[in-house]
Amino acid sequence: MNLLSSISFASSMAFIFFGIYVLGLNRRAALNRIFFSLSMAFALWTFAYSFLYIAPDRDHAFFWYRLSSVAWCSTPPLALHFVLIYTRRRRILSKRWIFPLIYAIPLPFLWKSFTGYLISRDFVRVGSLLLEVGDTPSPWYWGYLLWTFLFVFMPAILILRYRGSLTSRRLRKQALVVLVAYISPGIFIYLINVMGPILNLKLPVMGHLSYTLGIGGIAYAISRYRFMKLSLSTAGDRIITQMMDILLFLDNDLVIQKTNRQAEEILQYTEPELRGMRLSSLVKEEAYVRMLESLSTEQAMLQNEVVRLVSRSGGEIPVNVSASVIIDDFGESLGTVMVGHDIRDTLALQERNAAVEKELRLAQQIQRGIIPSMPPAVPYLAIASFYKPQTILGGDFYDFLRMPDPGMLGIFIGDVTGHGVPAALVTSMIKILLEISGELREEPGRLLEYINRTVIGQIGDNFITALYGIYDSGTRSFSFSRGGHEHPLLIRDGVCSPVSSRGRMLGVEQEITYEVTGLALRPGDKLLLYTDGLLEEINGFGENFGDQLFQEIEQRAHLPAEGLVRSIHSALQGFNGGMDFQDDVSMICIQVL
C-alpha cells in the first residue's frame, strides 16, 4: 500500500467517524442527516480510491473506479440539498418534485460510468503511480463537468446571499467558514481531476482527498460557531436566566446550589445568599420538604403542589411547584430541580372572579325573581311558560299583567339583544315600566309605544323585540301588538299557522305607532308565544330547528299547554344533542278551555 493509498484509506475512516459524530449532535435535524449522507459518499469515494491506487491491472482499476462513481455522482445533489437546507430556501424545499429531480439527474452519468466510459477511458502506470486517462473528446465528459459545476459551484452563490441576509456576527462568521469549506475542495478537484487530464499533466487523481479540508472547515464551524449543534450549557444558562418561574437546583441534602434571577427577585435574596441555604428554611410546609426527602430514582417527581415560600422580609408567597430528581447515566441521583410559579396574581384573580361570580348569581336570583314562576289563574284558560337563559343572565323576559276585569289578562314577552349584565339591566327596566304602566296596559299598541319612547337613548346599542297582548275570557279573543317580535303561532285542529301582524322593534326610532291585531279563539285552540332562540338553534349538521318547528308542534298538537311546552323543550334538547342552548329560549302557551 503506497502513500496515496494509505492517505485515501485514512480519509475514508475520518469521513465515517465525522459523519456519525455530526449525526449524533442532532439526529432529528435534516441538515445533520444530509451531512451524514454526504460524509458517507466521501467515505465510499476515498475508500474505493485507496484500492484503485494499488490496483494490479486495468480490470481491477475499473472495478474500483466504477464503485467510486456511485459516490462522485451522488455528491453534487447531496451538496446542493445540504446548501438548500442550510440557506433556508423554504420556497424551493416546499416543492415536492424538486428532490426527485435533483437526485434523478446523475442517474444517466452513473449508468454511463458502469456501462462505458464517463470521465476516464483508461489507466496507465507511470512508475509506482496509476494514472487516469481522461476521455476528453466524449460529450459525456463535458456534460458531467458542466453538471458538477452547476451543482457544486452555483450553491456557493446561495451561501453568499444567505450570509448577506444575516445580522448575527456569529452566524455570518459561521457562513463564511462553511463557504470556504464548501468551495475550496471544489476548486482543488477541478485543478487536479479536470485540468490535469486536459493539460496532459502526469498527476494522479487525488482531488477527492481535498474534501478532508472541507470536513476540517466544518469541524471548525462546529467547535467555534456551534454549527449544526445546540450548546446545552449555553442554551441551558440562557433558559435558566430568562425563565419567568422560580428555579432552584438542590443537592441530595436539599441544599440550594443554583438559582435564577426570578427566584432572587421574588424571594428578595441575592444568589450568594440563596446558595447554601437549606430548602426547609424557605418552605413553610414541613410536610412538603419531607415529601421531597422521600423522593427516589423510582418515584422521581412531584407535580403541582401549592406551598408558601418565605421571603427575606418574612412575607409568605404562594407558589405552585413541581420537583424532579436529576438522575445520571448510572441511575444515581444528582439532586433535585424545583420549579415554582408565583400564583399571587392567580389567587387574587380567583378571588375577584369569585366575587364577580357571587354578584352574578345574586343578579340571576333577582332576574329570576322578576319573571313569574307560576302563571295567574284565568277562567277557561290554561297557561304554561318556559324560560331558559343561555348564560347566568339573559335577555329574554316575559310577564303577566292583571287587569281590572279578572277575566282579562295582559301577556308580555320580549327579547333584548345580547346577554349578560347589559341585557339583564334592560329587562329590569322593562319590568319597572310594565309595573307603572297603569291604564296603558289595557291597550297593547299604546303600551309598546310608551316603552319605546322611554327606552330610546337609555339602552345603548341594544334594541328590544316585544309582543304584548290581552286575552279576554268573556269573548275568547286575543288582541295584540307586535314590535319586531316573532309571530305568534295558532294551533287549531292539529294545524300550526302563524298570525301575521306588523310592527317595528323597540328602542330604534322615537315616534312609532303599533297596530293592534285581534284574534278570535275557540275552545281547544292554543296560542304559542316565543323568542327567537327557539328558531335559531343549530345542531351539529348545520340544521336549524326553526325549519322543523311547525312539524314538531303539529306532532304534539294534541297535548295540553303544559305538555306541549315541555315536549317542545325536550325536542329542542334532542335536536342539539343535549348541548347548551346557543341563545335564550322562552315560551308561553295559552289554551282556551
* pLDDT value for 319: 93
Task: Supply the DSSP symbol for 496.
Answer: E
298-307 contact pairs (CB < 8 A, 24+): 300/324, 300/325, 300/327, 301/325, 306/343, 307/283, 307/340
Sign of CA dihedral 296, 298, 300, 306: negative
* pLDDT value for 232: 40
Contact between 472 and 408 under an 8 Å Cβ cutoff? The reply is: yes
C-alpha cell at 586: 322562552
* pLDDT value for 566: 95
Query: What's the residue count for the chain?
Result: 593
Closest by CA to 311, choosing from 346, 273, 276, 339, is 273
- CA atoms within a 13 Å half-sphere pointing along the CA-CB vector of 325: 19
Q: List the beta strands (DSSP E) in 343-494.
A: 381-388, 396-402, 408-416, 464-472, 477-483, 489-492
Q: Which residues are 483's β-sheet partners?
A: 466
Contact between 360 and 425 under an 8 Å Cβ cutoff? The reply is: no
Contact between 484 and 503 under an 8 Å Cβ cutoff? The reply is: yes
* pLDDT value for 96: 81
* pLDDT value for 240: 63
* pLDDT value for 210: 66
Task: Supply the DSSP symbol for 353.
Answer: H
* pLDDT value for 399: 95
Radius of gyration of the chain (CA): 43
CA distance 490 to 496: 6
C-alpha cell at 298: 423510582
* pLDDT value for 233: 45
Q: CB neighbours (10 Å) of residue 164? A: 9
CA distance 399 to 316: 53
Q: Sheet containing 464-472: which strands, arranged edge to edge?
A: 396-402, 408-416, 464-472, 477-483, 517-520
CA distance 377 to 319: 60
Q: List the beta strands (DSSP E) in 312-420.
A: 316-327, 333-342, 381-388, 396-402, 408-416
Residue type, 537: E
Q: Would you give per-residue pLDDT tens digits along the chain (593 residues)?
A: 577 788 888 888 888 888 888 888 777 677 788 888 888 988 898 888 888 888 888 888 888 888 988 888 888 888 888 888 888 787 787 788 888 888 888 888 888 888 888 877 787 777 766 777 777 788 887 888 788 778 777 888 888 888 888 876 777 887 888 788 777 776 766 666 666 666 666 666 666 666 777 777 776 666 565 565 444 444 455 556 667 889 988 888 898 988 888 899 999 999 889 988 999 999 999 999 888 888 765 667 888 899 999 999 999 999 999 988 887 655 667 788 899 999 999 889 988 988 888 887 887 787 787 889 888 899 999 999 999 888 888 889 999 999 999 999 999 999 998 778 888 889 899 999 999 999 999 999 999 999 999 999 888 888 999 999 999 999 999 999 999 999 999 999 999 999 999 999 999 888 899 999 999 999 999 999 999 999 989 888 888 999 999 999 999 999 999 999 999 999 999 998 888 888 899 999 999 99
The model's pTM is 0.50
